[in-house]
Amino acid sequence: MDEFDVVIVGAGPVGLFLACELGLADCSVLVLEREPEPHSPWRAEPLGGRGLSAMSIQAFYRRGMLDALLTASGIDEVPDTDDPAPPRLAGHFAGMMLDAAAIDPTALPFRLPSPAPELMMTSLDTIESVLSERAAKLGVEIRYGAMVSAVTQHDESVSVQTDEQEYTARWVVGCDGGRSTVRRLAGFEFVGTEPQFTGYTMLATIADPDKLSHGFTLTSTGLYIRMQTDGHVAMMDFDGGAFDRSQQPTLEHLQAVLRRVSGTDVTLTEVQLASTFTDRAMQTTTYRQGRVLLAGDAAHIHSPLGGQGLNSGLGDAGNLGWKLAATVHGTAPDGLLDTYTGERRPIAAKVLDWSRAQVAVMRPDPHSQAIQGVIRDLIATGDGTTYVFGRISSLWIRYDLGSEHPLVGRSAPDFRLEDGTRLGDLMHDGRGVALDFSADRYLHDAAMQWENRIRYAAGAARNHLGLRAVLVRPDGVVAWVGGHDADREAFERVAEQWFGSPAIAP
């Protein structure tokens, strides 16, 4: 029987990112994946194309994986400037496209120049390849073709049974998707709302493609999306989710739906690949049951509108990784692991509502069409576009950490010291960071008490946003800021809250 600190079920981006976080912290990690091999047409371009938002891209940047991700995605590096670059992509709301030029960058909170763009397109296969390579270097073991059949909790461990072997871990994390086996076996409650539509994505040969407009087209009967790759089409049919996975979609069925949704007599001559999905919006009531935790789609599902699912899952992994590692090593303060549910579940609840709002606007009825007209007017304004972009890019996310300062609880800006060192450069090893911008280095002695858990860096910054010092958690979230009235006691109190007693050796 093999024993590990953590067994992760699911080798998608969420499970692999979590595995890298735990491996970076010297935890022994096994990832079990039910698919027999990592690559498939559904994960590569074009069907596996996905958008990454600001916080997801920052997570790769802070662990030194951004260059590899950009290169593998065919994206040029962001120019190194002293001013934040304007957003290059903007996204959409319910199929209504945003104009990136209308975004007001000054209205985005605490924005500083960074090598990490705020939105980018890549693929699941690309993300997983980058993360798999990193995981291997960190000693993470990944086993494919491992179907989990039982999860049994004990006082100090969890047993995971596959078709061929049993594994023991101190903790188990289900990152195994919307139909999570771990969620079912561990008895998590999954609640929410039922679907309004069946969605389809397909790669097909179209006899008369010019009958379909490029990009997102919102119609009076639904939505279709003609992608850049020939024959790659997605569509949403408001049938109450009746068709989803009830049967394999045939060419005739797909053509009928596409004609109905597009209002054209377009003809399909061959279908290479096709799959269905819905806007079912569900969430577990907690992300932890004893020694079993959930992340990503295993904990929350919703429609793919706005590309929030993958990004929410990566946010879960980043939030959970350092907390679970500290728990494994015995340095975590009381209740640290419980803050995972406390912080991430409200974020997912808002994402579910964001998805529901888009579906409500798209419904083919006069009331929804009227609301759609209002939304079009709103996003035609600079304020409206900026608000929607902030939601899409995840720049709106802020955890309630008990501080009134508007930066606390947000993703840290990429502060750059005068010697050129960036905050992102200081976070590659997975520790927290104390940035001391003051000339007297008043935090040095306090921060050095946690030197194995907090990296201390001092020096003037090119733009310190009027702050004297900042304490950043390993997930890049600001835990404390110091102004002119900051003192050592306040820093030590917050540091102990998140990093445990300095007297405990890791």
CATH number at residue 127: 3.50.50.60
Calculate the average pLDDT of the chain.
92
Residues 76 and 222 in one domain: no
For residue 410, tell me if it sits in a domain. Answer: no
For residue 409, tell me if it sits in a domain. Answer: no
Residues 152 and 214 in one domain: no
Domain termination site, one of 216, 247, 278 = 278
Between CA 352 and CA 279 the distance in angstroms is 9
Across 11-28, average pLDDT: 98
Residues linked to residue 167 through DSSP beta bridges, in sequence order: 2, 160
Residues 183 and 213 in one domain: no
Cα–chain center distance at 440: 38
Across 168-187, average pLDDT: 97
User: pLDDT band at 118, cuts 50/70/90?
Assistant: confident
Residues 240 and 149 in one domain: no
Percentage above 70 pLDDT, the chain: 96
Across 9-31, average pLDDT: 98
Task: Write down the pLDDT at residue 92.
Answer: 87
What are the pLDDT digits (tens) for 433-442? 999 998 677 7
* Per-residue tokens: 246: 């009830």
For residue 402, tell me if it sits in a domain. Answer: no
Task: Write down the pLDDT at residue 326.
Answer: 98
- The single-letter code of the amino acid at 3 is E
Between CA 401 and CA 301 the distance in angstroms is 26
For residue 98, tell me if it sits in a domain. Answer: yes
Q: Does residue 356 have a pLDDT over 90?
A: yes
Name the region of 91 (left: φ>0; alpha: ψ -120 to 50; beta: rest). Answer: left
Predicted TM-score of the model (pTM): 0.95
Domain termination site, one of 245, 263, 278 = 278
Residues 241 and 372 in one domain: no
DSSP letter (8 states) at residue 441: -
User: pLDDT band at 467, cuts 50/70/90?
Assistant: very high
User: pLDDT band at 135, cuts 50/70/90?
Assistant: very high
Q: Which domain CATH number covers 444? A: 3.40.30.120
Q: Tell me the CA distances in angstroms from 252 to 224, 245, 246, 256, 322, one per residue in order.
A: 17, 16, 16, 6, 50
The angle subtended at Cα 116 by Cα 112 and Cα 117, nearest 5°, is: 90
Task: Write down the pLDDT at residue 109.
Answer: 79
Task: Write down the pLDDT at residue 486.
Answer: 59
Q: Does residue 246 have a pLDDT over 80?
A: no
Q: Does residue 485 have a pLDDT over 70?
A: no
Q: Does residue 243 have a pLDDT over 90?
A: no
Q: Which domain CATH number covers 273? A: 3.30.70.2450
Task: Write down the pLDDT at residue 505.
Answer: 67
Q: Tell me the CA distances in angstroms from 106 to 87, 96, 102, 396, 466, one per residue in order.
A: 12, 23, 12, 14, 16
Residues 184 and 256 in one domain: no
* Per-residue tokens: 176: 């195994």
What are the pLDDT digits (tens) for 326-339? 999 999 999 999 99
For residue 365, tell me if it sits in a domain. Answer: yes
Residues 173 and 30 in one domain: yes
User: pLDDT band at 370, cuts 50/70/90?
Assistant: very high
Residue with token string 């188990």 = 172
User: Where is average pLDDT lowest: 81-85, 222-226, 241-245?
Assistant: 81-85
* Per-residue tokens: 128: 């997983």
Task: Write down the pLDDT at residue 306.
Answer: 64
Residues linked to residue 482 through DSSP beta bridges, in sequence order: 469
Domain limits for position 183: 2-190+282-392
Across 122-132, average pLDDT: 96
For residue 335, tell me if it sits in a domain. Answer: yes
DSSP states of 248-298: PPPHHHHHHHHHHHHTS---EEEEEEEEEEE--EEEES-SEETTEEE-GGG
For residue 139, tell me if it sits in a domain. Answer: yes
Q: Does residue 503 have a pLDDT over 80?
A: no
User: pLDDT band at 497, cuts 50/70/90?
Assistant: very high
Residues 175 and 238 in one domain: no
For residue 407, tell me if it sits in a domain. Answer: no
Q: Is 114 within 8 Å of 469 (Cβ atoms)?
A: no
Task: Write down the pLDDT at residue 248.
Answer: 85
Across 133-144, average pLDDT: 97
Q: Is 234 within 8 Å of 227 (Cβ atoms)?
A: yes
Virtual torsion, Cα 317, 320, 325, 326, nearest 10 deg: 150
Residues 264 and 301 in one domain: no
Q: Does residue 487 have a pLDDT over 90?
A: no
Residues 434 and 306 in one domain: no
Residues 41 and 126 in one domain: yes
Q: How many domains, the chain?
A: 3
Residues 122 and 47 in one domain: yes
Q: Does residue 307 have a pLDDT over 70?
A: no
Domain termination site, one of 232, 249, 278 = 278
